[in-house]
Amino acid sequence: MTDQTLHSPAPRRTATRSFRNLKRGQAVIVAALVFAALMALNAFLSPYPLSYFDVSFLASGGATTAIAAAGQTLVILSGGFDLSAGAVVSLVNAVLATSMDPSNMEASVPLWTAIGIAIGMGVGAVNGFFVAVMRLQPIVVTLAVMFIVQGLTLLIMAMPGGFVSPTLASTYLGDTIPGLLPAPVTLLLVLVALWLWLKRTAYGVTLYAVGSDPEAARSTGLRTRTVTFATYVLAGGLYGLAGVFVSAQTGSGDPLAGNALLLPTFAAVVIGGTRLGGGKGGVLGTILGAYILMIVVNLLLSLNVSAYYSTIAESAVLLIAVLAGSLSKDSTLSLRLRDLSDALSARRKGWLVTQRPAEDRRLAFTRPSDTAPRLSFMQKYGHTLRHALPAWLCLALVLIATQAVLGNVFTGWRYWDSLLVLSSFLAILALGQGAVILTGGLDLSLPWCIALSGVLLTGLVGGQDMGLLTALPVVFAVAAVIGLANGLGVVALGLSPIVVTLAMNGILQGAALIWSGGTPAGFAPPVLRWMMTGKVMGITPVILFMVVFTAFAILLLGRTAFGRRVYAVGNSELAARLSGVRTGRVIVSVYILSALCAALVGVLLAGFSGQASLGMGDDYLLPSIAVVVVGGALITGGRGHYAGMLGGALMLTAMQTLLAGTALPFAFRSVFFGLVILMAVIALRE
Amino acid sequence: MIGRFLAGTACALALSAGAAQAQDEGAPYDIYLSMSYIGNDWQAEASNMVKALAASSDYADRVNLEVQVAGPNAQRQIQQINAMVQAGADAIVVFPISPTALNSVVKSACSRGVTIIAYDAEITEDCAYNVTIDQAEAGRETAEWLVDEMDGEGDVVMVTGVPGTSVDTARTSAAKEVFAQHEGINIVGEAVGMWSQAVARTELNKLMATRDWSDIDGLWMQVGCYTANAMQLEAGREPSELLPCAGEGSNGGRIQMLPADTEVDGASAPYAPMGAPRISYASPPYSGALALKLAVDKLDGKDIPEHTTLPLPLVTNETIELCETGSWDEQKAGCNAFQPGLVSNPGWFASIFSEELPQLGLNAALVGQPES
């Protein structure tokens, strides 16, 4: 790129090129400007002048997220997704804190740093092997590895404690040049320098190529597999370094230290202008993104924003930063605005397709043939079976294992009743999340959509059955609005579904806190409790409801025009649009469907527990994705069947039931759970 | 060592200087509260009680209280505490997300003369003050009660808290030690309850999928006895058949402990008296308010202990007593459960009485309103 600029013949072209480079760096520049503005605002609001100490502290405060997010950036650039980032940070922290010798105050910094990075790279190599060599979907591989690593961490360290040598702290938190350059800043500068070098190597070019178009990259003869593998290893190394940094910062270990870092790393990557899906962005923007996130926390305190509003404010920053970073003449938002004005002027002139008389204009030779060739059973359903069956086979295995270990599976109804009731939540979520994933999206706003719906319901019904008549419509109307907002964010603003729904999740969290005042009031009405815990001829009523729901879901996705459009959009949005599918409407509808399913789960969960609680949706996000993928769906969209997802929901619930029934320590259960998910997706391999 | 000593002295000097200055001006102290997650009952009550104490007539003119929430992320709490120091805090009352992760920021806050007091969970840094109960004692005493109830024999199901936290590990391992000393006691199932009634229900459902309630002889839980009793009733067992349960101090659980013929306002099953065999313990939510009181004492120049161990609130069927209004005076006379008509949420924690905080009654914990 530089070479071309140097050799370009005319000065005019140089000018346009540097302008283009500027455009290319727009996201990073915007991030830098936002960061500078927030920093200035923060300094202005603080009663004390910003001292070197403060800068040093801010630098170290954001460094862990920044380093981990840098690793995440590499994976995202390659078109992947790494959910194991936070777990690796915890693992390294736990290993360091348990294996350092408390009597040795002079432990070698390079040695322990190398150990931390090596551990991270080891986990990265596992991720890389399954993604690059076995060609499994990154999101599932890293989800399974996340569970396994979390379990291992708890095996190594059951509770916070341990010892980390102070030499680590003095190296990583001290000063490179006292009074001028804090060590964390140096560390980040070194990382940026390494990145700028790496970007120009063959590896870097291939990384961008793989992220932009893996097929094209492979056809060009690039070593895509090696590069993908190396990316996960490098990313793992960076998580390891973040773990070393946390250890230095805290002087001890905490087996849960890094787990909360996962979502902030995504936010940092996205704010920094890296495109989810790959091929565009870089580490520099990500590091700025991480510091923007951090400075927002300080600002909220200076401005004395109520804690209830803090997640809303953070979501707003996320959305604004991403929008500002992508704003241009060709961005989706401007395209949509132009479309809108074109449509309006066309309507005025009467040119719009819908304004023309509705008559059949098909050409003669496109007349459908009178007889369709009969397909054999395997031709018709083989494809579906191929992807839906593994989940059911795994379920059968888990059931046999449960019978062997705990018994009472095939001898009575009790086990089946529990299994079906407990899996109903995931089975319902699977329809919504599944439909979104079929279009190639992802809905991360489920947890707080569930919680808000539950809290709204119990707050509105006042414990009376009659209250349901007014409360249910309100709850589902709110959910529909949430889904509509998600869908419009994706379609009209052109933002990545992950960004929109992540921000929505934060907004809903704030909304639920404000509405409930921190403690949800009220109870689920008796009829709802009866539905989840009562019995009709020995069967819990919700199971009968689920039979109807399953039939509805299979018909909706498999037999309706809506279902066909969903698959069409997932296979190729462009092809679908050119075939006359109103892709925007389809995408908005799946998000509405997803929000409605989440609301239904919130209502049922409230009935199950008798009340609503604010954290009640937290445990359902990752399983909802796992269920869909284990059930045979492709995370990039276009492939999957509800029958498989249902099998996935039953399988995961049966697995959890089996693990809960044993007296195995939690750490082992987590490892087993991860292994089973991994095995299920290996079974799904093409 | 010398460096540490010097730092300590500097810290003390700065502290006394700060305190003297504040007193000269007669201005209220700037005290910050850094909470962890909001949105569970315990945290909400703790924060209500801190706010109530700050609003009480004894403290209203003396304290400017500002509350911030860090969520589950320790990194964020580190930033937050630092931002509070930058904003000029005199003292910071903190619910620490991690006992160790905050050490360096706490140390730097101390060196700037800020008093740091942690409540409920501990901060291991030396210059921080801690207000907690003895978690191991809680695990031990409740397990011993359960062993006695079961006459030293039978199968126990355990529902633990959040794995990987010191509080959960201390309670669970202390209880397991007790069970291990009795050969007749078998732990047949262990579920992770995350300190939530909702999670406890899901996990117990999984545990009971392959068992009958009659296969079990006792329950040891950190949170979930209320739910377990409700589930036994749903499964068709009589209140007289309820299993002995050692568990949390929620008001729902306390009401269930009352003899079945007790008259209470606003009860509806399962939030109703049923004579359930229970021992109820809790980390009391007033610990945050006590930390605030200690912070003010400290800023006034008084000596406060480095570690305040709160008396463990234990309630059994023998000591359970219903309050009429829930005022501090009434609780001082010995009552320890509140009318469902006043406390509509059964998961709400009932161990709110502190000898040292006459400003705080039921209304303080419910809505943040002090007694006077």
Residue in A61, A518, A534 closest to B78 by CB = A61
Nearest CA in chain A to B171: A159
In this structure, is residue A66 part of a structural domain? yes
**E strand residue ranges, chain B:** 29-35, 63-69, 91-94, 115-119, 129-132, 154-160, 185-192, 218-221, 245-248, 278-281, 307-309, 314-316
* Segment holding A176, helix H or strand E: strand A175-177
- pLDDT value of residue A686: 62
Q: Which two tokens stand for residue A13?
A: 């072209």
Over range A50-57, report the average pLDDT: 81
Q: What is the nearest CA distance from B70 to chain A, expressed in angstroms?
A: 9
The answer, yes or no, to whether residue A16 has pLDDT greater than 80, is: no
Q: Which two tokens stand for residue A343?
A: 């449509």
Taking an 8 Å cut-off on Cβ atoms, the answer to whether A521 and B169 are in contact is no
The proportion of chain A whose per-residue pLDDT surpasses 90, expressed as a percent, equals 52
- A262 and A404 in a single domain? The answer is no
CA distance A435 to A638: 10
In this structure, is residue A508 part of a structural domain? yes
The answer, yes or no, to whether residue A12 has pLDDT greater than 90, is: no
- pLDDT value of residue A539: 92
ipTM of predicted complex: 0.87
Of A274, A304, A334, the residue that ends a domain is: A304
- pLDDT value of residue A366: 66
A with B: how many residue pairs have Cβ under 8 Å apart? 217
Measured between beta carbons, the chain B residues lying within 8 angstroms of A297 are: 76, 79-80, 83
- A106 and A202 in a single domain? The answer is yes
In this structure, is residue A119 part of a structural domain? yes
Q: Which residues contact A648 (CB under 8 A, 6 or more apart)?
A: A391, A426, A430, A626, A627, A628, A629, A630, A631, A632, A680
The tens digit of pLDDT for each residue in B264-298 reads 988 888 899 999 999 999 899 999 999 999 999 99
The tens digit of pLDDT for each residue in A87-118 reads 999 999 999 999 998 888 888 999 999 999 99
Is the distance from CB of A177 to CB of A52 less than 8 angstroms? no
- pLDDT value of residue A522: 80
Q: Which residues contact A529 (CB under 8 A, 6 or more apart)?
A: A607, A610
The tens digit of pLDDT for each residue in A517-534 reads 777 878 889 999 999 999
Taking an 8 Å cut-off on Cβ atoms, the answer to whether B344 and A608 are in contact is no
Q: Which two tokens stand for residue B20?
A: 């003297």
The answer, yes or no, to whether residue A21 has pLDDT greater than 80, is: no
Taking an 8 Å cut-off on Cβ atoms, the answer to whether A57 and B202 are in contact is no
Taking an 8 Å cut-off on Cβ atoms, the answer to whether B124 and A252 are in contact is yes
- A300 and A442 in a single domain? The answer is no
- A570 and A658 in a single domain? The answer is yes
In this structure, is residue A546 part of a structural domain? yes
- pLDDT value of residue B16: 44
The answer, yes or no, to whether residue A423 has pLDDT greater than 90, is: yes
Nearest CA in chain B to A402: B210
Is the distance from CB of B336 to CB of B350 less than 8 angstroms? yes
In this structure, is residue A160 part of a structural domain? yes
Q: Looking up tokens 């707080």, which residue turns up?
A: A448
Is the distance from CB of A622 to CB of A630 less than 8 angstroms? no
Q: What is the nearest CA distance from A282 to chain B, expressed in angstroms?
A: 24
Q: What is the nearest CA distance from B148 to chain A, expressed in angstroms?
A: 23
* Segment holding B5, helix H or strand E: helix B2-25
- A258 and A138 in a single domain? The answer is yes
Residue in B72, B79, B270 closest to A260 by CB = B72
The answer, yes or no, to whether residue A318 has pLDDT greater than 80, is: yes
If you write DSSP's letter for every residue of B327-339 in order, what string do you get? -HHHHHTT--B--
- A49 and A175 in a single domain? The answer is yes
The proportion of chain A whose per-residue pLDDT surpasses 70, expressed as a percent, equals 96
- pLDDT value of residue A15: 63
- 3-state helix/strand/coil string of A426-443: HHHHHHHHHHHHHCCCCC
CA distance B58 to B54: 8
In this structure, is residue A4 part of a structural domain? no
Sites in chain B below the pLDDT cut of 50: 1-24
Question: What CATH number has the domain bearing residue A455?
Answer: 1.10.3470
CA distance A144 to A625: 12
Give how many domains chain A has, as a whole number.
2
Over range A642-655, report the average pLDDT: 94
Find which of B202, B222, B234, B256 to mutate to test the A interface (most A CBs within 10 Å of its CB). Answer: B202
- pLDDT value of residue A205: 92
Taking an 8 Å cut-off on Cβ atoms, the answer to whether B83 and A257 are in contact is no
Find which of A601, A609, A664, A669 to mutate to test the B interface (most B CBs within 10 Å of its CB). Answer: A609
In this structure, is residue A479 part of a structural domain? yes
- pLDDT value of residue A508: 96
Residue in B66, B80, B196 closest to A615 by CB = B196
CA distance A633 to A627: 9
Of A277, A304, A331, the residue that ends a domain is: A304
- pLDDT value of residue B69: 81
- pLDDT value of residue A11: 53
**Residue B180 burial by Cβ neighbours in a 10 Å radius (0-12, 13-18, 19+):** exposed
Residue in B86, B102, B206 closest to A48 by CB = B86
- A269 and A413 in a single domain? The answer is no
CA distance A367 to A379: 25
- A292 and A386 in a single domain? The answer is no
Find which of A416, A613, A669 to mutate to test the B interface (most B CBs within 10 Å of its CB). Answer: A613
Domains annotated on chain B, with CATH = 2-133+285-312 (3.40.50.2300), 135-281 (3.40.50.2300)
What per-residue string of b and e applies to B109-145 under the rule 16 or more CB within 10 Å gives b? bbebbbbbbbbbbbbbbebbbbbbbebbbbbbbbbbb
Taking an 8 Å cut-off on Cβ atoms, the answer to whether B76 and A253 are in contact is no
Nearest CA in chain B to A59: B79
Of A255, A283, A304, the residue that ends a domain is: A304
Is the distance from CB of B62 to CB of B359 less than 8 angstroms? no
Structural domain boundaries, residue A621:
382-683
Taking an 8 Å cut-off on Cβ atoms, the answer to whether A246 and B192 are in contact is no
- A170 and A63 in a single domain? The answer is yes
Measured between beta carbons, the chain B residues lying within 8 angstroms of A662 are: 189
In this structure, is residue A363 part of a structural domain? no
Nearest CA in chain B to A616: B198
Nearest CA in chain B to A63: B75
- A291 and A408 in a single domain? The answer is no
Over range A189-209, report the average pLDDT: 95
Measured between beta carbons, the chain B residues lying within 8 angstroms of A310 are: 69
Find which of B73, B102, B159, B214 to mutate to test the A interface (most A CBs within 10 Å of its CB). Answer: B73
Taking an 8 Å cut-off on Cβ atoms, the answer to whether B347 and A613 are in contact is yes
